[in-house]
Each structure stands twice: as C-alpha cells, then as structure tokens.
Amino acid sequence: MFKLAALIALSAWIPEVANAREIAVCGESEGHSFYPKLGLSSANEDRWIPDRITGGRITLTETSKGEHDIFYANATGAAGSAKNDGAMVTTLGSVGDSLGVLVAYPDTGQIESYAFIVNADGKAEVMWTVNRYGPLVRKVSAFKANCSFFTP
C-alpha cells in the first residue's frame, strides 16, 4: 500500500519537475548553527558551533509559470523538493546577479531564506539560513555553498 501511495504522489509531481529548468545547482554547505539554552531537551547553554552539510546539494528550479522550487539532498542522502514537502516557496525578488527565495514550512516550524548570487570573482554561490522554531530541534543556522552555475 505504501508503494502505491508513493507512486501516486510521485506521478503527480513528475509533470511539474519535467517542465522546470534548473536556475542554480549548488554543492555541500558550510557555516555555523546557534542552539539556544532550552533546558533538558537541548543545550545547557547558548552556543554557536561550526556546521556543515557534507554531500548536500541545493538546486533552484523555475517552472514555465515562473514559480520556483528548491530541490535538496541532505547529509543523510535523503532528497526531496520544498514544495513536495509542503512548503510555501516565495520568490522575494531579483536584483542584478542575485535572486532571493523564502521557503516556509508552517506545519513543522521551519523557515529558510536563500540568496543566490554571482560574487565579485564571477563565481556562483548561495547564502542561506534556516530558522527552526518547531518542537523538535530549535536552532538558527547560516550557510554558504558554491554553485556550479547560477543563471538569474
């Protein structure tokens, strides 16, 4: 039954993916995360720690309707789409060689912001943040990842 449900969900998702073009493809992320002091369920003190998503991948796509989505692969190898995971994906705007995207997961308490840019050296990169305010892990993180390309 699970396989049938997964197949139905995937078939509804494929047409949108097939009509989307890749705007940016970025590799693993590196940055820092802040964990607040929350008592027994979390850290015993506020702290910033180095953080990275080894083997991670971020791909920004755009449909023929101009709608964006974030496809990802995380450090555990899990992959998915922000929209397919129930997120609201909002294009914030484009200025020169940059594009801002906001991703909100209202059901899980997570907000992500992405700034895709071409830096002064002409290299594509994404700077992104995640703020988890939901019940499981509360933290804020700031990351940077190099991109093989970004076409604003």
| Residue 3 within a domain | no
| Residue 94 within a domain | yes
For 62-121, the pLDDT digits (tens) are 999 999 999 999 889 899 999 999 999 999 999 999 999 999 999 999 999 999 999 999
Domain containing residue 49:
21-150
The total of structural domains in the chain comes to: 1
| 85 backbone dihedrals φ, ψ, rounded to 5° | -85, 5
| Residue 11 within a domain | no
CATH number for the domain spanning 105: value is 2.40.128
Residue 56 neighbours by CB distance under 10 Å:
20
For 26-65, the pLDDT digits (tens) are 999 999 999 888 765 555 677 899 999 999 999 999 999 9
For 126-136, the pLDDT digits (tens) are 999 999 998 77
| Residue 27 within a domain | yes
Is residue 49 within 8 Å of residue 32, measured between CB atoms? yes
Is residue 33 within 8 Å of residue 139, measured between CB atoms? yes
